[in-house]
Structure 1
Amino acid sequence: MTEHFDANVVDEHILDEQRYDQHAYFEQIYARPVILESKKLTQVFQHDNVQRTILNQIDLKIHQREFICIIGPSGCGKSTLSRVVAGLDHFDSGEVLMDGSPIHGTSPERGMVFQGYTLFPWKTVKENVMFGPLMKGMSRTRAEEMAREWIHIIGLDKYENQYPHQLSGGMKQRVAIARALVNEPKILLMDEPFGALDPHTRQKMQKHLLDLWQNINITILFVTHDMDEAILLADRIVALKANPGEIKEIIEVNLPRPRTPELMQSDAFKQLKAHVNQLVHADDDAHDPAMDNLPEIPRMTHVSNTK
């Protein structure tokens, strides 16, 4: 039986570090409806006579308002999985279901934030955030109201009339997040959104994202190659193996919320990181086939490298 869930109510007894109960926390998560499910999801890349399985038999259930991080070695299909869920990439077999219905193409109910700054350079911050509501047929007045509300939430009120080239990297990604969330999606897909940021800005963006997630009704599927980031953010971490891309293990992050950078110094964090690290790098010998048979580098300098 699914218990009633109010997205606006935070279970303080679960989030409080002193009274944290891992079993109760995940029991509550698994009692919520499944919002996204993949069944035997398989994607094969074919180029001339070369065939490579990118995703193989992916079975995954994500529950309402869950924060899932996807992690794995290069070439394991992390980004491909997020693009398939977004409706941007095809898949060859299996199913991808949103609220029990098959996904066909893109939809405002699935927002996407990429690593690159995908804002329209000719539009202001406000115009970028207004774009989605206007495309859905909303009046310009209402679209502007919603855009200003989200610009306020991300803390960029003073910059609403600035253009992307006038913003820092962190500001651009905040605008990209607002542009996705203004459409009121059920799930937010994030493909290494903080990968290009400096460490300090990245840490601030992680905190801001957690604040957003804890206060709005949104489910997040977050792709990252950074183990610290995955452990800091996720309820569960889905570790993929490469060649072919398969689920190796799904890890419940048994650390209390709210999480802070100081938590990264704890023994529990370090133990979990060691486990995730072992999962990600255990198959390093089964490396990317693109690294096979690399040519010998010809000598192109007379400067000695022995002095």
Structure 2
Amino acid sequence: MNHHPQYATDFDANAYFNAIYQRPIILEAKKLSQIFKYQQQERTVLKQIDLKIHKREFICIIGPSGCGKSTLSRIVAGLDPYSSGEILVDGTKIHGPSPERGMVFQGYTLFPWKTVKENVMFGPLMKGSSNPVAEAAAREWINIIGLEKYENQYPHQLSGGMKQRVAIARALVNEPKILLMDEPFGALDPHTRQKMQKHLMDLWQNIDITIIFVTHDMDEAILLADRIVALKANPGEIKEIIEVNLPRPRHPELMTTTEFKNLRKRVDFLVHAQEDEIDPALEDLPKIPRMTQVSTHK
């Protein structure tokens, strides 16, 4: 076994997951299906999804393009309807968006005309907080994400990583039960992405939150998740749910270990095992016509 010196060799995965499964179920999908209809055609995006997520779990959802990862997160957020089945938070059906389910997207969804502080204050003000209360809550979260020096700047003055930290603070200031993240670090450079992954893990370790994180990056999923939900495409069904039996806290160095590499092979196989599950639009790619005299051949 290839252990990095920073990692505990006495990590008991069974005890860790038993403790998780003792916790209350915060989110449950029962036979959840989503069918998109266009004119005479139907496409099943999600089919009979059964999933139980426990309080304070970190869940990553992965799968090939077109498997319904983002659709599932949007349904949980209350942004999209669903065709059949049901989805419950703390035993209550989801009906539209709610502050108890925060959402962070890949695209930077900050209000460009508002400062960092005003962006983070927006949620509490919408819930009816007074200006001083909203400002105090915003300041607390701006400090937690380490952007107190930038609270009066506008989004266009911030780097990509800073914008996503503000988006996370704007979601968390509402004290949601669940934080939904759809490819939140996908547009960041590798170094910033790694720093944001660590920052997110630190936040999750220290606050009472359940995270559902959509990604196509298998290394990211293994590094972050308690469990990985692997979806297959056409239709989008749960193929397997993998327990990530690696000790916490996790650091990027973990990726060099045998345990990580073995998990990576398994996840890679699940996502890419069957070529016919790939986005059908990729099946018949046209031959590119010659448009230039420049060539790799001399």
Q: Distance in 2 between matches of 1:201 and 1:174?
A: 11
How is 1:40-55 mapped onto 2 (pairs within 5 angstroms)?
A: 40-55=31-46
Contact 1:40/1:93 (<8 A) preserved: yes
Q: Distance in 2 between matches of 1:219 and 1:260?
A: 20
Question: Is 2:282 aligned against 1:282?
Answer: no
How is 1:205-244 mapped onto 2 (pairs within 5 angstroms)?
A: 205-244=196-235
- Residue 88 of structure 2 aligns with an amino acid whose one-letter code is L
Q: TM-score, normalised by structure 1?
A: 0.93
- Residue 163 of structure 1 aligns with an amino acid whose one-letter code is Y
2:22 corresponds in structure 1 to: 31
Q: Equivalent residue of 1:19, what SS?
A: coil
Q: Distance in 2 between matches of 1:272 and 1:100?
A: 33
What is the RMSD computed on CA atoms of the aligned residues? 1.2
Q: Distance in 1 between matches of 2:179 and 2:295?
A: 52
Runs of 4+ in 1 over 4 A off after TM superposition: none
Q: Distance in 2 between matches of 1:169 and 1:21?
A: 37
List per-residue Cα deviations over 1:278-304 (Å, max 9, x = no partner).
000001233322224444433222334
What 5-or-longer segments of structure 1 have no aligned partner? Answer: 1-14
1:9 corresponds in structure 2 to: none
Question: Is 2:237 aligned against 1:246?
Answer: yes
2:3 corresponds in structure 1 to: none
2:116 corresponds in structure 1 to: 125
List per-residue Cα deviations over 1:159-193 (Å, max 9, x = no partner).
00000000000000000000000000000000000
Q: Equivalent residue of 2:81, what SS?
A: coil
- Residue 297 of structure 2 aligns with an amino acid whose one-letter code is T
List per-residue Cα deviations over 1:239-276 (Å, max 9, x = no partner).
00000000000000010000001110000000000000
Contact 1:238/1:249 (<8 A) preserved: yes
2:140 corresponds in structure 1 to: 149
List per-residue Cα deviations over 1:48-96 (Å, max 9, x = no partner).
1221100000000000000000000000000110000000011000000
Question: Is 2:174 aligned against 1:183?
Answer: yes
Q: Equivalent residue of 1:36, what SS?
A: strand
What 5-or-longer segments of structure 2 have no aligned partner? Answer: 1-5
Contact 2:117/2:139 (<8 A) preserved: yes
Contact 1:65/1:218 (<8 A) preserved: yes
State the identity %: 77
Question: Is 2:95 aligned against 1:107?
Answer: no
2:57 corresponds in structure 1 to: 66
- Residue 78 of structure 2 aligns with an amino acid whose one-letter code is G
Q: Equivalent residue of 1:240, what SS?
A: strand
2:78 corresponds in structure 1 to: 87
Contact 2:55/2:210 (<8 A) preserved: yes
Q: Equivalent residue of 1:17, what SS?
A: coil
